[in-house]
Amino acid sequence: MNTLNVTVAHTGNNYCAMIDGVDNIMVTGNSIDEIKANLVSAIEDTKSVCQESGIPVPELLCEPFELNYHMDVESFLNFYKDVFSKSGLERLTGINQKQLWHYASGGRKPRREQVHKIESALHHLGKELLSISF
Protein backbone atom coordinates (compact mmCIF):
# COMPACT_ATOMS: atom_id res chain seq x y z
CA MET A 1 0.00 0.00 0.00
CA ASN A 2 1.31 3.43 -0.94
CA THR A 3 1.57 6.21 1.61
CA LEU A 4 0.65 9.60 0.20
CA ASN A 5 1.94 12.57 2.14
CA VAL A 6 -0.53 15.40 2.59
CA THR A 7 0.75 18.84 3.51
CA VAL A 8 -1.64 20.92 5.62
CA ALA A 9 -0.94 24.65 5.87
CA HIS A 10 -2.54 27.60 7.64
CA THR A 11 -3.79 30.18 5.13
CA GLY A 12 -4.90 32.92 7.52
CA ASN A 13 -8.63 32.21 7.47
CA ASN A 14 -8.63 28.43 7.23
CA TYR A 15 -6.38 25.52 6.25
CA CYS A 16 -5.51 24.01 2.90
CA ALA A 17 -4.19 20.57 2.07
CA MET A 18 -2.32 19.21 -0.93
CA ILE A 19 -1.11 15.72 -1.78
CA ASP A 20 2.63 15.74 -2.41
CA GLY A 21 3.33 14.56 -5.95
CA VAL A 22 -0.27 14.82 -7.19
CA ASP A 23 -1.09 17.98 -9.14
CA ASN A 24 -4.45 19.74 -9.17
CA ILE A 25 -5.82 18.40 -5.90
CA MET A 26 -6.06 21.04 -3.19
CA VAL A 27 -8.79 21.39 -0.59
CA THR A 28 -9.61 23.80 2.21
CA GLY A 29 -11.36 23.42 5.53
CA ASN A 30 -11.71 24.77 9.03
CA SER A 31 -10.77 21.53 10.79
CA ILE A 32 -8.65 18.45 10.18
CA ASP A 33 -11.81 16.34 9.92
CA GLU A 34 -13.22 18.70 7.28
CA ILE A 35 -9.95 18.65 5.36
CA LYS A 36 -9.85 14.84 5.45
CA ALA A 37 -13.43 14.58 4.18
CA ASN A 38 -12.85 17.21 1.49
CA LEU A 39 -9.66 15.48 0.37
CA VAL A 40 -11.31 12.07 0.02
CA SER A 41 -14.09 13.73 -1.98
CA ALA A 42 -11.59 15.58 -4.19
CA ILE A 43 -9.67 12.35 -4.89
CA GLU A 44 -12.87 10.56 -5.91
CA ASP A 45 -13.94 13.52 -8.06
CA THR A 46 -10.52 13.63 -9.74
CA LYS A 47 -10.63 9.92 -10.54
CA SER A 48 -14.15 10.26 -11.91
CA VAL A 49 -13.36 13.29 -14.07
CA CYS A 50 -10.20 11.64 -15.42
CA GLN A 51 -12.08 8.49 -16.36
CA GLU A 52 -14.95 10.43 -17.99
CA SER A 53 -12.53 12.62 -19.94
CA GLY A 54 -10.20 9.82 -21.00
CA ILE A 55 -7.35 11.43 -19.09
CA PRO A 56 -5.07 9.03 -17.19
CA VAL A 57 -5.74 8.94 -13.47
CA PRO A 58 -2.65 10.14 -11.57
CA GLU A 59 -0.50 7.07 -10.99
CA LEU A 60 -0.27 7.58 -7.21
CA LEU A 61 -4.08 7.35 -6.98
CA CYS A 62 -4.39 4.11 -8.96
CA GLU A 63 -3.08 1.76 -6.29
CA PRO A 64 -4.42 1.40 -2.74
CA PHE A 65 -3.05 4.17 -0.54
CA GLU A 66 -3.22 5.71 2.88
CA LEU A 67 -2.96 9.40 3.59
CA ASN A 68 -0.29 10.68 5.98
CA TYR A 69 -0.90 14.27 7.13
CA HIS A 70 1.95 16.71 7.85
CA MET A 71 1.61 20.16 9.36
CA ASP A 72 4.25 22.82 9.91
CA VAL A 73 4.73 24.42 13.33
CA GLU A 74 2.93 27.66 12.38
CA SER A 75 -0.14 25.73 11.20
CA PHE A 76 -0.13 23.50 14.28
CA LEU A 77 0.11 26.43 16.69
CA ASN A 78 -2.74 28.24 14.96
CA PHE A 79 -4.94 25.16 14.59
CA TYR A 80 -4.65 24.18 18.25
CA LYS A 81 -4.52 27.71 19.73
CA ASP A 82 -7.76 27.09 21.64
CA VAL A 83 -6.44 23.78 23.04
CA PHE A 84 -2.83 24.59 23.93
CA SER A 85 -1.94 27.92 25.52
CA LYS A 86 1.50 29.33 24.83
CA SER A 87 2.32 29.02 28.55
CA GLY A 88 1.23 25.37 28.50
CA LEU A 89 3.34 24.70 25.42
CA GLU A 90 6.28 26.43 27.09
CA ARG A 91 5.96 24.04 30.06
CA LEU A 92 5.74 21.05 27.71
CA THR A 93 8.51 22.01 25.31
CA GLY A 94 10.81 24.33 27.23
CA ILE A 95 10.51 26.86 24.40
CA ASN A 96 9.83 30.44 25.50
CA GLN A 97 6.25 31.71 24.94
CA LYS A 98 7.49 34.73 23.01
CA GLN A 99 9.33 32.43 20.61
CA LEU A 100 6.18 30.31 20.20
CA TRP A 101 4.22 33.47 19.34
CA HIS A 102 6.81 34.27 16.65
CA TYR A 103 6.40 30.77 15.21
CA ALA A 104 2.58 31.04 15.28
CA SER A 105 2.61 34.39 13.47
CA GLY A 106 4.97 33.13 10.79
CA GLY A 107 7.43 35.87 11.73
CA ARG A 108 10.09 33.29 12.44
CA LYS A 109 10.60 29.71 11.35
CA PRO A 110 11.80 27.26 13.99
CA ARG A 111 15.10 25.49 13.55
CA ARG A 112 14.93 21.73 13.06
CA GLU A 113 15.96 21.19 16.70
CA GLN A 114 13.02 23.32 17.88
CA VAL A 115 10.60 21.47 15.61
CA HIS A 116 11.86 18.18 17.06
CA LYS A 117 11.48 19.52 20.61
CA ILE A 118 7.83 20.47 19.98
CA GLU A 119 7.02 17.22 18.20
CA SER A 120 8.70 15.08 20.89
CA ALA A 121 6.92 16.90 23.71
CA LEU A 122 3.53 16.47 22.02
CA HIS A 123 4.16 12.77 21.31
CA HIS A 124 5.21 12.27 24.93
CA LEU A 125 2.00 14.01 26.09
CA GLY A 126 -0.05 11.82 23.75
CA LYS A 127 1.53 8.63 25.12
CA GLU A 128 0.96 9.84 28.66
CA LEU A 129 -2.71 10.58 27.93
CA LEU A 130 -3.19 7.17 26.27
CA SER A 131 -1.94 5.47 29.43
CA ILE A 132 -4.68 7.06 31.55
CA SER A 133 -7.93 5.23 32.11
CA PHE A 134 -10.96 6.09 34.22
Do residue 29 and residue 63 come from a single domain? yes
Q: What is the dihedral of CA 94, 99, 104, 110, to 10 degrees?
A: -80
60 and 27, same domain (yes or no): yes
Q: Compute the distance between CA of residue 35 and CA of residue 8 in angstroms, rounded to an integer.
A: 9
Please name every residue paired with 18 in a beta bridge, in sequence order, or none if there are none: 7, 26
Number of structural domains, the chain? 2
pLDDT value at 11 more than 90 = no
Report pTM: 0.75
Question: What is the widest separation between alpha-carbon atoms in the chain?
Answer: 55
**In this structure, what DSSP letter does residue 56 have?**
P
Residues 101 and 111 in one domain: yes
Q: What is the pLDDT of residue 3?
A: 92
* CA neighbours closer than 13 Å in the CB half-sphere of residue 94: 8
Average pLDDT score over the chain: 92
Residue count of the chain, please give it: 134
Q: Which domain holds residue 16?
A: 2-71
Q: Residue 100: which residues within 8 A CB-CB, separation 6 or more?
A: 77, 86, 89, 90, 93
Can you tell me whether residue 55 is helix, strand or coil?
coil
Q: How many CB atoms lie within 10 A of CB 56?
A: 9
What band does 28 get if pLDDT is binned at 50, 70 and 90?
A: very high
Residues 89 and 121 in one domain: yes
E-strand spans in 72-127?
none
pLDDT in tens, 32-74: 899 999 999 999 999 998 888 888 888 888 888 999 999 999 9
Task: Look at residue 85 and give its three-state secondary structure.
Answer: coil
- 107 in the same domain as 53: no
78 shares a domain with 62: no
**Same-domain check for residues 83 and 105:** yes
Q: Which helix (H) or strand (E) holds 63?
A: none
Q: Domain containing 87 — which CATH number?
A: 1.10.260
